[in-house]
Structure 1
């Protein structure tokens, strides 16, 4: 069971760290997507910080602080639920798979952390 948890959580860590970096450097795709869903550009650093903190906390959970890992995964589930809701509210469906994928990773990480 730990192997599955470790693999899923490692993927979630890498994915969230990667998108946090893209947010911090204001990648064109991030700016375009943010504008489409009505997200103010000045929110990007704050949202990037939340994603980076989630990734770092998932890593802490992976290396032996399980409560932190569960809390991080819960926070990321809530975060990406909000991202999916923002896409739905703005009727931007063509790329909803991206926040949906991050949501699925966070949920899988949470489920495996809780059952571990």
Structure 2
């Protein structure tokens, strides 16, 4: 169980950390996504910061398990919101959000089990 948690967390750190960098460097993709969803562009760095904090929390969760559980729960909420934002404007381009959500849910489930076994 420990190995699965570590692997899932590392995948989550890489995915969310990479997405955070894309959001924070001013790449055009997050800006176009914000435009499509009707989200003001000034929120793009905020969303990137949330992703970065989630990635850092997952990394910290490898040492302090409750932090990882909280971080993964936050990422679950983040990606549920992202998917709903797509659906709200009629976009069906949600595969990426689903992948990120599945990763976050997996880390959350494994983290909860890890806490119960400790």
Q: State the TM-score, normalized to the length of structure 1.
A: 0.94
Partner of 1:97: 95
Partner of 2:113: 115
What does residue range 1-116 of structure 1 map to in structure 2 within 5 Å? 1-62=1-62, 64-93=63-92, 95-116=93-114
Offset of residue 99 of structure 1:
1.3
Structure 1: distance between partners of 2:29 and 2:76: 22
Q: C-alpha offsets along residues 82-111 of structure 1, whole Å, 9 cap, x if unaligned?
A: 001100101111x21111111111111101
Which stretches of structure 1, 4 residues or more, deviate above 3 A after TM superposition?
A: none
Q: State the TM-score, normalized to the length of structure 2.
A: 0.93
Please list every run of 5 or more consecutive structure 2 residues that lacks an aligned counterpart in the other structure: none
Offset of residue 77 of structure 1:
0.4
Structure 2: distance between partners of 1:36 and 1:26: 16
Structure 1: distance between partners of 2:66 and 2:6: 15
Number of positions where the alignment pairs a residue of Structure 1 with one of Structure 2: 114
Please list every run of 5 or more consecutive structure 1 residues that lacks an aligned counterpart in the other structure: none
